[in-house]
C-alpha cells in the first residue's frame, strides 16, 4: 500500500460514500413497497421500475449511462489508443442509442408494460408468447451473458483504480464489487436511476475536462494529429493500424451491434417501461442523443490522442487513468476519474437488477414458489439474496481478466442481442409472431452466434453478430408463418383499445 496515491483515492472514496447515501435514501421506497398490499407486484414494481415515474432528463441519463459503460470509458479509449481515429469513428455508431431504443419501442411498449404489469422484459415476453420455454431460455440467457458483461465492467473499474490510485487489482476489484452490490441491494431501481442521473452529470463534466486537458497537453489538435502520424500513419485513417482489420464492410456492420440492436439489451430496453409520460419520452430522446455524442466522441478521442502523451503502459485499458493522473493534480484527477467509474457503476447496477429479476421474478416466483407472488416481504428477501449471489459470481469471473475488456463486453452484449432483439420488436409490432417462431429465433440466434464466433468470426467480412441476426429473423418469420397464430386474447392485449 506504500505506492497508493491518496490524493486520487480520497475523492473516489467520497464518491462511493455518496453512492451509498443514495442507496439508503432509496431504501425507504423499497421498504414501503415490501409492505404494500395494493398490487401483487408492489415490491417488484418499485424494485425493478422505480414506480414508472422517470422524467425526461432522468430517463436520458439512466438510459445513456446504463449503456455507455466500461467499454465506452475504459475499453473503448484503450482500443482507440492502439487503433487510432478509426476506432473513434466506429465508436460513434453508439451515439443514437437512446434515440433508437426509445423511438423503436416508443409509447406502445410502456403502455403495454403497464397494462400487463410487466416489470422485466421477460414479463413482457411471457404474456406475449405464453410459453414457458421462451421464459426459461431468455431468463437463463440474461443470467449467463450478463454475468460475463458485468465481469467486464468490474474488470474496467478495478483497472481504473489500479492505474490511477495504485491499488492492487484484487483489492480494487473487491472494493468496487462490494459498493455495487450493497448499493443495488438496498436501493433497487430508484437508487440506480437517481445515481445514474448524478453519474451522468459527473461523466459529462469529466469527459469535457479530460478532453480539454489532453488537447492542451498535446499542443493542440493539429499538433497531436501530426505526432500520431509519426507514431503510425495508419492511426489517422478510418481503417485502423492493422491493414484489413477495420474494413468498410466490417465497420458498417459493427453499427448493427452497437447502434440499432441495443434495443435487444434488456437493461437498456427496460428503461422504456419506466418513463412517466409522452413529454418525458420526447425529452429523453433529445437529451440522450446529445449526452451520448459528448461522452463517446470526447473519451474516444482522448484515447486516440493519448498515444502521443502516454507510453509504456501494460494494457490499453489503463490509458485513461494513467493519462488523467499525469495531466491533473491528484485530488482533481480523483474527482475526474469518478466520471469513468460512474459510467461503469451505472451499467453494472442496472444489469445486476435485470439478472436478479430474471432469477427471482421470472424463474423462482413463476415456477418454484408461485404462491409468493402476493408476498412482497419474502420476495424482497429473496431478491436481496439473489443479487448478492450474482455479485459473488461476477467477482469470481472477474478475477482473471482478459487483456482488453472491450471484447468480453461486446461478446456478452452480442449474445444478449441475439436472444432478445427480434422477440421484442416482432412481438411488439407483428401480430403473427408466435412462441414457436420466438423459440426458433432465440435458439438459432444464440447457437449461430456462438458457432460463428468460434469458426467464422467475420462472415463475408462483416461483424460476427450480423449473420446470426439475419438467421434468427428468417427463422422467426418462417416458423411463425407455418404454425398457429397467437390467440385472440393476445391480439386484444397488444393491439386492442387500451383504457387506463
Residues 68-127 have pLDDT tens digits of: 665 677 778 888 998 899 889 888 877 776 666 777 776 777 788 888 877 778 888 989
Higher pLDDT, 308 or 380: 308
Taking the C-alpha atoms of residue 360 and residue 363, their distance in angstroms, rounded to an integer, is 6
134 neighbors 125 (Cβ within 8 angstroms): yes
In this structure, what DSSP letter does residue 327 have? H
In this structure, what DSSP letter does residue 364 have? I
H or E segment and range at residue 446: helix 435-455
CB atoms near residue 173 (< 10 Å): 23
Higher pLDDT, 378 or 472: 472
Q: How far is CA 236 from the centre of its chain?
A: 29
Nearest to 149 by CA among 343, 332, 406, 321: 406
At 127-161, the pLDDT tens digits run 999 998 998 888 888 888 878 778 877 887 888 78
What is the per-residue pLDDT for 499? 42
Q: Grid coordinates standing for 353?
A: 437488477
* Torsion sign over Cα 87, 342, 306, 172: negative
- pLDDT at residue 41 is higher than 50: no
Mean pLDDT, the chain, whole residue set = 78
At 177-216, the pLDDT tens digits run 887 777 676 655 555 666 667 777 877 888 899 999 999 9
Higher pLDDT, 287 or 403: 287
Say whether 320 sits in a helix, a strand or coil.
helix
Instruction: Provide mean pLDDT across the span 40-59.
Output: 53
Instruction: Provide mean pLDDT across the span 379-385.
Output: 77
Q: How confident is the model at residue 34 (pLDDT cuts 50, 70, 90)?
A: very low
Which pTM does this prediction carry?
0.75
Q: Grid coordinates standing for 35?
A: 409492505
What is the per-residue pLDDT for 255? 77
Domain ranges of the chain: 6-405
Nearest to 374 by CA among 32, 12, 34, 10: 34
What is the per-residue pLDDT for 216? 95
**For the ranges 356-365, 374-383, 404-413, 468-477, which has the lowest average pLDDT?**
404-413
What is the per-residue pLDDT for 213? 94
What is the per-residue pLDDT for 67? 63
At 476-488, the pLDDT tens digits run 999 999 999 998 8
Distances (CA, A) of 94 to 10, 124, 260, 337, 412: 33, 26, 8, 22, 16
Taking the C-alpha atoms of residue 423 and residue 129, their distance in angstroms, rounded to an integer, is 9
What is the per-residue pLDDT for 75? 74
Q: From the CA atom positions of the chain, what is the Rg in Å?
A: 22
The domain 6-405 belongs to what CATH superfamily? Answer: Sodium/glucose cotransporter (1.20.1730.10)
- b/e for 110-142, b at 16 or more Cβ within 10 A? bebbeeeebbbbbbbbbbbbebeebbebbbebb
Q: Grid coordinates standing for 68?
A: 455507455
| Half-sphere CA count of 144, side-chain side, radius 13 A | 13
- pLDDT at residue 323 is higher than 50: yes
* Torsion sign over Cα 146, 164, 92, 199: positive
Instruction: Provide mean pLDDT across the span 378-395.
Output: 80
Using CB atoms within 10 Å of the CB of residue 99, give its burial: 0 to 12 exposed, 13 to 18 middle, 19+ buried.
middle
Amino acid at each position: 500500500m506504500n505506492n497508493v496515491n491518496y490524493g486520487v483515492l480520497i475523492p473516489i472514496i467520497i464518491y462511493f460514500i455518496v453512492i451509498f447515501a443514495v442507496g439508503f435514501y432509496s431504501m425507504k421506497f423499497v421498504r414501503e413497497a415490501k409492505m404494500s398490499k395494493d398490487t401483487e407486484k408492489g415490491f417488484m414494481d418499485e424494485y425493478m421500475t422505480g414506480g414508472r415515474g422517470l422524467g425526461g432528463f432522468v430517463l436520458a441519463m439512466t438510459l445513456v449511462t446504463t449503456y455507455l459503460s466500461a467499454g465506452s470509458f475504459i475499453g473503448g479509449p484503450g482500443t482507440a489508443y492502439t487503433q487510432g481515429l478509426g476506432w473513434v469513428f466506429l465508436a460513434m455508431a453508439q451515439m443514437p442509442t437512446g434515440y433508437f431504443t426509445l423511438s423503436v419501442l416508443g409509447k406502445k411498449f410502456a403502455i403495454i408494460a403497464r397494462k400487463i404489469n410487466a416489470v422485466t422484459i421477460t414479463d413482457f415476453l411471457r404474456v406475449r408468447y405464453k410459453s414457458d420455454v421462451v421464459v426459461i431460455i431468455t431468463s437463463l440467457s440474461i443470467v449467463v451473458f450478463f454475468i460475463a458483461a458485468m465481469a467486464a465492467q468490474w474488470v474496467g473499474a478495478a483497472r481504473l483504480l489500479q492505474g490511477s490510485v495504485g491499488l492492487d487489482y484484487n483489492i480494487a476489484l473487491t472494493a468496487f464489487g462490494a459498493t455495487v452490490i450493497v448499493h443495488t441491494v438496498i436501493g433497487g431501481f430508484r437508487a440506480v436511476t437517481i445515481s445514474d442521473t448524478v453519474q451522468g452529470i459527473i461523466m459529462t463534466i469529466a469527459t469535457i475536462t479530460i478532453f480539454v486537458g489532453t488537447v492542451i497537453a498535446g499542443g493542440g489538435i493539429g499538433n497531436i494529429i501530426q505526432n500520431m502520424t509519426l507514431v503510425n500513419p495508419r492511426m489517422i485513417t478510418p481503417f485502423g493500424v492493422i491493414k484489413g482489420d477495420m474494413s468498410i464492410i466490417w465497420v458498417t456492420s459493427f453499427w448493427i451491434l452497437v447502434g440499432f440492436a441495443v434495443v435487444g439489451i434488456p437493461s437498456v430496453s427496460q428503461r422504456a417501461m419506466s418513463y412517466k409520460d409522452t413529454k418525458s419520452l420526447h425529452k429523453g430522446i433529445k437529451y440522450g442523443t446529445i449526452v451520448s455524442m459528448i461522452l463517446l466522441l470526447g473519451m474516444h478521442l482522448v484515447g486516440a490522442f493519448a498515444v502521443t502523451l502516454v507510453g509504456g503502459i501494460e494494457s490499453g485499458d489503463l490509458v485513461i487513468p494513467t493519462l488523467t493522473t499525469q495531466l491533473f493534480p491528484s485530488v482533481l484527477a480523483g474527482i475526474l476519474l469518478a466520471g469513468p467509474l460512474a459510467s461503469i457503476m451505472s451499467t453494472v447496477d442496472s444489469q445486476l437488477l435485470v439478472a436478479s429479476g430474471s432469477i427471482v421474478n421470472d424463474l423462482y416466483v413463476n415456477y418454484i414458489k408461485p404462491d409468493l407472488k402476493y408476498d412482497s416481504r419474502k420476495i424482497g428477501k429473496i431478491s436481496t439474496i439473489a443479487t448478492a449471489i450474482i455479485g459473488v459470481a461476477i467477482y469470481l469471473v472477474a478475477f482473471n481478466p482478459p487483456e482488453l475488456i472491450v471484447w468480453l463486453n461486446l461478446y456478452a452484449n452480442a449474445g444478449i442481442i441475439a436472444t432478445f432483439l427480434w422477440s421484442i420488436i416482432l412481438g411488439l409490432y407483428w401480430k403473427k409472431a408466435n412462441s414457436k417462431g420466438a423459440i426458433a429465433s432465440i435458439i438459432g440466434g444464440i447457437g449461430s452466434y456462438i458457432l460463428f464466433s468460434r469458426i467464422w468470426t467475420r462472415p463475408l467480412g462483416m461483424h460476427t453478430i450480423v449473420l446470426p441476426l439475419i438467421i434468427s429473423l428468417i427463422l422467426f418469420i418462417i416458423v411463425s408463418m407455418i404454425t398457429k397464430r397467437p390467440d385472440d386474447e393476445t391480439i386484444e392485449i397488444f393491439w386492442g383499445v387500451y383504457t387506463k
